[in-house]
Structures are given as structure tokens and as C-alpha cells.
Amino acid sequence: MYQASEQRYNTMEYPHCGASGLRLPAISLGFWHNFGSNMPMDNMKRLCFTAFDNGITHFDLANNYGPEAGSAEKNLGIILKEELGAWRDELIITTKAGYGMWPGPYGDWGSRKYLLASLDQSLKRLQLDYVDIFYHHRMDPHTPLEETMGALAQAVSSGKALYVGLSNYDGPTLERASAILNELRCPFIVNQNCYSIFDRTIERNELKRTSQRLGKGIVAFSPLAQGMLSDRYLNGIPDDSRIRTDGRFLKESSLSGGRLKKIRALADMAAERGQSLAQMALAWILRDGIVTSVIAGASRPEQILNNIKAIQNTNFDPEELRKIDEICGWDD
């Protein structure tokens, strides 16, 4: 039977999520991959135990995470019931709805019908009475923003979520959504968006700046660009890599000669800092204190332990930042 480490809070940092009272670990555990129905339960348990034993209290999910869709929530529900239930009040469990989850017109996007039904389904799979944060997973051009935000507010008023968040929103839409949620007195505290050395969309679409101005936290997903910002592909594409086993999100064409040259240059720079490439990539996201937490997935406990070391050095001098921009072509 699992017993949590008494030293679990000794080294992790817990920044406040924007202007809210909620604090999240600087490194969070993502369930997008490696927690589906095709994964061994023993390994999933080891990942959760390693994370929690080292201060990672935030487990991030969505209704459609798997594969199969829903299986990540179902598997965490089993782990919570069998092993981690005694520590529920020390955990931040988050889920989302917004992408296609079931057939027909009511299983996608951002209607009140879909969001509230999806949350009920997620809670059943997780075997929980509430989640800590419930996100709308993507902007919906077909549904009035007032309807979507009203559904999020109802999730909180019903006691099924403590806070709400928005994911994959841009800055202008975030500002309008925030105003609606303020009127509804709904505790909207966080945005979740893709952010990495290679993907700086939240800087270009004003999401990062708007979140800071409004006092909302930012949680960054895909901080390692699907593994490209790690040592995984420095010497070619391994047979067991995600590119070989699941090419839906990362394709071999993504690792062109030019991209590999950038990855290797960044790895050399990380070595000069005494970090792995993955550690430097995570540290870069946390460098200015605007991003609250980075979500890092893992298939092995050792990856979690290595990722956590990123918080030991999140300082970059101006020349290092300039060099990273130059390597990536962001200095144009």
C-alpha cells in the first residue's frame, strides 16, 4: 500500500496562480499521453507516486485524454480510490471539456449542454465529487461566449468545481470572457496554453500579457514541444518514440535538418548551464514568473525526477536569452 513521502514538500516551489489564493507546483504532471487504456496500471501508479512524493500536487486531465477517450480519467479514478484517496485534499485535480467526446451535436465545443454533461461524466470516471479546476478546452465560434461562461459558473455554483479556467484562448477573447465571469462572480483564475521555446503563440496573440494584466495564472502545456526539446532525438528517431508509435501529433517531418540543428545548439547551451535540454526548456518558461506552472508528461519516473530539477535554475542573463532567440530564429 502506498505511503506518501514525509519529505514531499521540501524542494518544490508553489507560485500563486495569478492573483488567486491557489498555489500550484511549478512542475505539474500531465495525463495527455501515458495514462490511457493501452498503458500498464503499475507504471501509471509509479508515475503518480513519484510525482506526489516530490511535491507535484497538480494532475492535469481532460475528458478526451487516453487513448481511449476518457480512459486517463478512469485510470486516475482507480489510482485515487486504491492508493491516493487519503491525500485528496493535498491534490489539485483538473479536467477540461471542449473537444469532441461523444457522437452527435451535444458532444463537442462549448454549449451548456455539452460542458455540464461532460463534467458529470468526468466526475464519474474520476470517482470524485468535485474537481479543483474545470476548463473550457478551446474557443467556440458557434456558441455565445455568455452561454459558455455561464456553464462554467454553474459548475462552480453546483459544487462540482472549485475554480474555472480557459484553455487555448487568445488575449482578446480572454478579456471578454473574464469580464463575463467577473459579473457572474465566478472564480476564473487560470489560462492553459501551449508554450515553449519553439512555440510562442501566447506572446504573439497577447494571451501572456493579458493574463498578467488581469491577474490570471498561466499553465503551459507541451513545454518540450512533444519531446523535441529533450535529448530524445539528438541522435535520430528511436524506434519506441512517439513519432514511430503515434504520429498524430508529432511527425517525422517536424525533425527536419534545420530543426535538428536548432535542437543540438540548444542542447549545447543547456550543457553550458549545467542542465539537460529538457530542464533548460522548462526553466525558460518559468524564467519571468508570469507562468505559474508547466505541465510535463512522462512515461518513466526518471523523467519526472529530471524535470523537477529545472526549478533549481530558472535565471537567464540577457545574453543567454538573446542566444536562445537567435538559435530559434526569433531575433528577426
**DSSP-derived secondary structure for 76-112:** HHHHIIIIIGGGGGG-EEEEEE-S--SSSTTSSTT-H
Fold for the domain defined by 27-233+279-315: TIM Barrel (3.20.20)
Question: Is residue 332 scored above 50 in pLDDT?
Answer: no
As a 3-state breakdown, the chain gives helix, strand, coil percent values, each rounded to 5, of: 45, 15, 45
Split at pLDDT 50, 70, 90, the class of 251 is low
Q: What digits encode the pLDDT tens for the residues 131-177?
A: 999 999 999 999 999 999 999 999 999 999 999 999 999 999 999 99
260-270 per-position pLDDT tens digit: 899 999 999 99
pLDDT at residue 236, as a whole number: 64
**How far, in Å, CA of 167 to CA of 159, rounded?**
21
Q: How many CB atoms lie within 10 A of CB 90?
A: 12
pTM of the predicted protein model: 0.94
